[in-house]
Amino acid sequence: MNYRHGYHAGNFADVVKHLALVAILLHLRKKDTAFTVVDSHAGRGIYDLSGQQACKTAEAKNGIGQLAELSGDMPQALASYLSLVREIGRGQYPGSPLVIAKLLRARDRLIAIEKHPEEFAILQQTLGPFRQAVAECGDGYARTLKLVPPTSRRGLVLIDPPFESQDEFSVLARTVREAARKFATGIYLVWYAMKSQAEADAFCGEVLAGGLAKAMTIETAISAAPGKLARAGLLIVNPPYGFAAVFHDIGALIAPLLQASIKCTWLIGEE
Q: Which residues bind ligand SAM (CB under 6 A)?
A: 3, 5, 17, 41-43, 95-96, 113-116, 119, 139-141, 160, 162
Q: Which is nearer to ligand SAM, 102 or 214 (CB)?
A: 102
Cα dihedral 65→69→72→73 (10° resolution): 10
CB 42, min distance to ligand SAM, A: 6
Q: Which is nearer to ligand SAM, 27 or 41 (CB)?
A: 41
CB 12, min distance to ligand SAM, A: 13
Residue 270 to residue 265: CA distance in whole angstroms:
9
CB 246, min distance to ligand SAM, A: 20
Cα dihedral 237→266→95→109 (10° resolution): -30
Residue 81 to residue 23: CA distance in whole angstroms:
9
**Side chain identity at residue 59, one-letter code:** E
Cβ pair 96, 111 in contact under 8 A: no
Residue 242 to residue 172: CA distance in whole angstroms:
26
Cβ pair 204, 267 in contact under 8 A: yes
Cβ pair 19, 78 in contact under 8 A: yes
Residue 161 to residue 194: CA distance in whole angstroms:
13
Q: Which is nearer to ligand SAM, 3 or 184 (CB)?
A: 3
CB 115, min distance to ligand SAM, A: 4
Catalytic residue among 14, 39, 108, 160: 160
Of all residues in the shown chain, the one whose CB is closest to ligand SAM is: 95
Q: Which is nearer to ligand SAM, 66 or 175 (CB)?
A: 175
What kind and span of H or E run contains 241? none
Q: Which is nearer to ligand SAM, 41 or 109 (CB)?
A: 41
Cβ pair 43, 123 in contact under 8 A: yes
Active site residue 201: no
CB 204, min distance to ligand SAM, A: 19
Cβ pair 235, 176 in contact under 8 A: yes
What kind and span of H or E run contains 220? strand 215-222
Residue 46 to residue 49: CA distance in whole angstroms:
10
CB 203, min distance to ligand SAM, A: 16
Q: Which is nearer to ligand SAM, 71 or 166 (CB)?
A: 166
DSSP 8-state code for residue 240: P
Give the residue numbers annotated as catalytic, written as ranges: 160
